[in-house]
Amino acid sequence: MAAIPYVLRTPRLLLRCWNPEDAIMVQPVIEANVEHLSPWMPWVLDEPVPLEEKAALLRRFRAAFDRDEDYVYGMLSPDGERVLGGCGLHKRVGPKGIEIGYWIDKDHLRQGLATEATAILTRVAMETMEVDRVELHIDPENSASQGVPRKLGFQYEGVLKRRFPVGDSMRDTGMWSLFRADYAGSPVRAKAHALGLEAYDLLGRRMDWSR
């Protein structure tokens, strides 16, 4: 497996590994999005949390990234000054698979940011990781979010019943997937390669694969 980029940049998005000091920037955004995100994101049910807890969480994200266990990125404006959302590559769907997750700040919806971030992360998964498939798990009632994998050429496999914990209940989740054999001719690859994507490693060096 090649090194996973710590920073990914397009003309309108900056994805980078979270750091603990980002808690000051991300905390008010999360607080402002509790109502917007709580129907779909189980972790939001515990929000808001104290700033120190948020910093500790981002520290764990960074540690997991450094250990190649899980890759959570902040989704920021190009100048890095505004939090637009978050996304990640998650090793929780079994051998040879990776799951992409994302959330978008309510003030930046319907701008194609989730689609762009998903295209970027799919390229990272397919071109730097030894995976055979990329998955997105989306609540069947979240019609807006289902448009992301549909536009990018992911295939809808159906509904997994009572698989997604939200509070004390288990919710259904819709399963979307893209297999390595289908990546070369897929809309997601075409979009990712048209974004002018740049990728940088831990030391801030541009990575050859992104050229």
The answer for residues whose C-beta is within 8 angstroms of residue 63's C-beta and 6 or more apart is none
Q: How do residues 73-127 score in pLDDT, each as one tens digit?
A: 999 999 999 999 999 999 999 899 999 999 999 999 999 999 999 999 999 999 9
The domains found in the chain, sorted by start residue, are: 7-210 (3.40.630.30)
- Angle made by CA atoms 146, 34, 78, in degrees to the nearest 5: 70
pLDDT tens digit sequence for 52-80:
999 999 999 999 999 999 999 999 999 99
Phi, psi of 179 (to 5 degrees): -100, 150
pLDDT classification of 166: cutoffs 50, 70, 90 = low
CA 185 to chain centre: 22
169-179 β-sheet, strand order: 155-166, 169-179, 133-138, 97-104, 83-90, 70-76, 14-17, 7-9, 198-200
Q: What pLDDT does 210 receive?
A: 52
Predicted confidence at residue 151, as pLDDT, reads: 97
pLDDT at 192: 97
Do 6 and 65 touch, CB atoms closer than 8 A?
yes
What pTM was computed for the model?
A: 0.94
The DSSP result for 67-105, as a single string, is TTSEEEEEEE-TTS-SEEEEEEEE--S-TTEEEEEEEE-
pLDDT above 80 for 162: no
What digits encode the pLDDT tens for the residues 123-157?
A: 999 999 989 999 999 998 898 899 999 999 999 99
Work out the pLDDT band at 164, boundaries 50, 70, 90: low
